[in-house]
Amino acid sequence: MKRIAVSFVVLAAVLLSIAQVNSFARPQSSVVGTWDVTIESPQGKRNAMLVIKQEGGKLTGAMKSQAGERPLDSITLKGNDIIFAITRNIQGQDMVITYKGKVEKDSMKGDADFGGFATGAWSAVPHKEDSAPAAASAAPPTAAGLNISGAWAFAVETAAGSGSPSFTFKQDGENLTGTYKGQFGEAPLTGTVKGSDVRFTIKINAQGQDLTVTYTGKIENKDSMKGNASFGELGEGNWTAKRK
């Protein structure tokens, strides 16, 4: 009788442990898809897109941002714990950024380690496909009289320092072209002017790393404008500009 009771207790404990494992285990398919990621980096807040796939029972992925797309070095999911790593070239040096976090029903969040030099929080939510068209449809019409064609002197402030590039713009309606000149040499630019909103991008090579820099801002008057600049993985900054 005692042996039967002991066996029953052991069987109950085994069944309970199996039930607990099943209740906390999260299938790999639960993280497969596209995620909008917000990262608190040493240079400030930045956004990226994380794409996770399942191939042959193994998770793979890639991170997309204004600096381009790079595959993940690794990604693992154990229960609700997710860990993934990616190597970035920062100012000529390879840096492994490791993301650790928890997977919840419709979100993920945790902490990122920037090669042992700094840490920051990160979070992710499922990507919304319809967000881009909605933003595009909300663009205001071109306002008459605002033309920024000509030479401009810029002052750019970032967490890593400041710079004083110059830009020469040619505006044709809402279309914007021109040239950048600064510490990274010369580069063509393309963009738009819609109402008082200006946006343009340049592609430069910073210490061996190809980088897309995006400037967005407001035209204050015919001789002044200001806004923000995104340097991809390197962070963000503020800028002001005066017509020469």
Per residue in 191-233, pLDDT tens?
999 988 999 999 988 767 788 899 999 999 989 999 999 887 6
3 state SS of 12: helix
Per residue in 173-201, pLDDT tens?
899 999 999 888 899 999 999 988 999 99
CA distance 155 to 233: 21
Q: Tokens standing for 223? A: 């001789």
CA distance 88 to 40: 16
CA distance 71 to 52: 10
CA distance 191 to 174: 8
Return the pLDDT at 181: 93
Confidence band of 18 (pLDDT split at 50, 70, 90): very low
Return the pLDDT at 97: 92
**HEC string for 162-230:** EECCEEEEEEECCEEEEEEEECCEEEEEEEEEECCEEEEEEEEEECCEEEEEEEEEEEEECCEEEEEEE
Per residue in 38-94, pLDDT tens?
998 776 788 889 999 988 889 999 998 766 788 999 999 998 999 999 998 766 678
CA distance 202 to 190: 7
Confidence band of 3 (pLDDT split at 50, 70, 90): low
Provide the phi-psi class of 11: left if phi over 0, else alpha when psi is between -120 and 50, else beta: alpha
Segment of 25-34, 112-121, 128-137 carrying the highest mean pLDDT: 112-121
Return the pLDDT at 25: 52
**∠ CA 61-46-224 to the nearest 5 degrees?**
140
Per residue in 153-166, pLDDT tens?
999 988 777 889 99
